[in-house]
Chain A
Amino acid sequence: MIDEELVQLLTPEGLRVGHPEYASSLDGEEIFSLYRDMVIVRRLCNESTSLQRQGQLALWAPIQGQEAAQIGAGRALQPMDFTFPTYREHGIAWCRGVPPEDVLRMFRAVSNGGWNPQHFRHSVPTVVLGNQALHAVGYAMGVQRDGAEEAVMTFFGDGASSQGDTLESFVWAASFNAPVVFFCQNNQWGISTPSSLQSKVPLYRRAEGFGFPGVRVDGNDVLAVYEVTKKALDNARVGGGPTMIEAYTYRMGAHTTSDDPTRYRIDAEVEVWKHRDPLERVKALLVREYQIKGAAFDQVNHEAEAMALKLRDDVLAMGRPDPITMFDHAYASEHALIEEGRREMLELGISGGAH
Chain B
Amino acid sequence: MATTTMTMAKALNEGLRRAMERDKKVLLMGEDIGKLGGVFRITDGLQKDFGEDRVIDSPLAESAIVGTAVGLAIRGYRTVCEMQFDGFVYPAFDQIVSQVAKLHKRSDGAYTMGLVIRLPFQGGIGAIEHHSESPEAYFAHTAGLRVVSCSTPNDAYWMIQQAIEHDDPIIFCEPKSRYWEKGEVDLEGPSHELFESARRREGTDVTVIGYGASMKTIMRAADTAASEGVSLEVIDARSLSPLDLEPMIASIEKTGRFVTVQEAPHTASIGSELVAELTQRCFYSLRAPGIRVSGYHVPYPPTRLEEDYRPSVDRILDGVDRVMGFES
Name A's B-contacting residues (CB within 8 A): 82, 84, 111-113, 116-119, 123-124, 126, 128, 131, 133-146, 164-165, 168-169, 171-172, 175, 328-333, 335-337
Contacts and interface: CB of A to CB of B under 8 A. Distances in A.
B70 interface: yes
Most buried by B among A145, A146, A335: A145
Contacts of A141: 68, 71-72, 75
A168 B76 contact: no
Given A138-B74, A169-B64, 4 more contacts: A82-B74, A112-B102, A138-B68, A172-B59
Given A112-B105, A118-B111, A138 B167 contact: no
The A contact surface, by secondary structure, is helix
B53 interface: yes
22 contacts: A116-B108, A116-B110, A118-B74, A118-B110, A128-B94, A133-B67, A134-B63, A136-B71, A137-B67, A138-B71, A139-B72, A141-B72, A142-B71, A142-B72, A145-B77, A146-B75, A164-B63, A165-B94, A172-B68, A328-B109, A329-B107, A332-B112
Max chain B Cβ within 10 angstroms of own Cβ: one of A84, A119, A164: A164
A121 to B, nearest CB: 10
B103 interface: yes
Contacts of B245: 336
A165 B94 CA distance: 10
Top-9 shortest CB links A-B = A138-B71, A134-B67, A142-B75, A138-B68, A139-B71, A332-B167, A168-B64, A135-B71, A113-B106
Contacts of A139: 71-72, 74-75
B103 to A, nearest CB: 7
A112 B95 contact: no
Given A134-B95, A169-B67, A336 B242 contact: yes
B286 interface: no
A139 B77 CA distance: 9
Contacts of B72: 138-139, 141-142
Interface of B: 27, 53, 58-59, 61, 63-64, 66-77, 91, 94-95, 98-99, 102-114, 143-144, 146, 166-168, 242, 245
A187 B312 CA distance: 59
Contacts of B166: 333
Contacts of A118: 74, 107, 110-111
B314 to A, nearest CB: 35
Contact of B144 (A82, A113, A164, A331): A331
A167 to B, nearest CB: 9
Nearest to B79: A138
A135 B168 contact: no
Contacts of A165: 63-64, 67, 94-95
A220 to B, nearest CB: 30
Contacts of B68: 134-135, 137-138, 141, 169, 172
A333 B105 CA distance: 12
A337 B240 CA distance: 13
Contacts of B66: 134
B63 A332 contact: no
A212 B66 CA distance: 23
A171 B59 contact: yes
A175 B98 contact: no
Nearest to A127: B98
Contacts of B103: 124
A116 B107 contact: yes
Contacts of A117: 74, 107, 110-111
Contacts of B167: 332-333
Contacts of A337: 143, 242
Given A131-B95, A134-B67, A337-B242, A168 B75 contact: no
